[in-house]
Amino acid sequence: MADRVSASIVIGGSLSASAYTELVALISDEGLSTEWDGEAFAPHHRAVGRPLSLYPHEVAWGRFEALENWCLLHDVPFARWSGGYGGQWGPERVVQRSDGTLTSYAVTEDDIVVIPQEVLETLGSFEATLAHFAAADFTVPPLVVEGDLPQFGVSTESTLDAERLPHVE
């Protein structure tokens, strides 16, 4: 039986309508919601011009394997927080900046980044430590789906970060 904890994920980037349909199916398979203990996610729950924030409790190993793998495969940026499981693993924040790699950061149960002594020693300088905190504080860009701008009148200012990312077909 899998160890289960609360977790959340924030997803952004630029998607075609068909890629968004795939994403919605994965979100549905994971049983995610736009709020803790909320109703199951439906496509119309997405706030246009913002990143998509999703929340569940009881997540196996604190990871959304299929969803995260899809995001990695399609270079879709995300940040995931998961709580710790006593005696097994601590809370973490995992970031994918749309470069195909995952970076894990130690955090508290309140998602505050902390640096274990061994990591601090490898960083070596105050500047490197500040850079570590800055990298962990990744701002996920808005989730822009093909057709958003004309249909919803979204300001291009709110989607500039997402438009610089690869468009997923």
Domain presence at residue 57: yes
pLDDT in tens, 85-129: 888 888 999 999 988 889 999 999 999 999 999 999 999 999 999
Domain presence at residue 138: yes
Domain presence at residue 168: no
Domain presence at residue 161: no
**Whole domain around residue 72: which residue ranges?**
4-152
Q: Six-digit token pair at 50?
A: 């913002």
Structure pTM? 0.84
Q: Identify the CA nearest to 4 among candidates 61, 51, 45, 53.
A: 61
* Residue bearing tokens 């349909």: 21
Domain presence at residue 167: no
Which residues lie closer than 8 Å to 41 by C-beta, 6 or more apart? Answer: 24, 27, 28, 32, 33, 34, 54
Contact 43, 20 (CB under 8 A): yes
The pLDDT, as a whole number, for residue 154 is 47
- Domains identified in the chain, total number: 1
Domain presence at residue 99: yes
Domain presence at residue 66: yes
Domain presence at residue 22: yes
pLDDT in tens, 10-25: 999 999 999 999 999 9
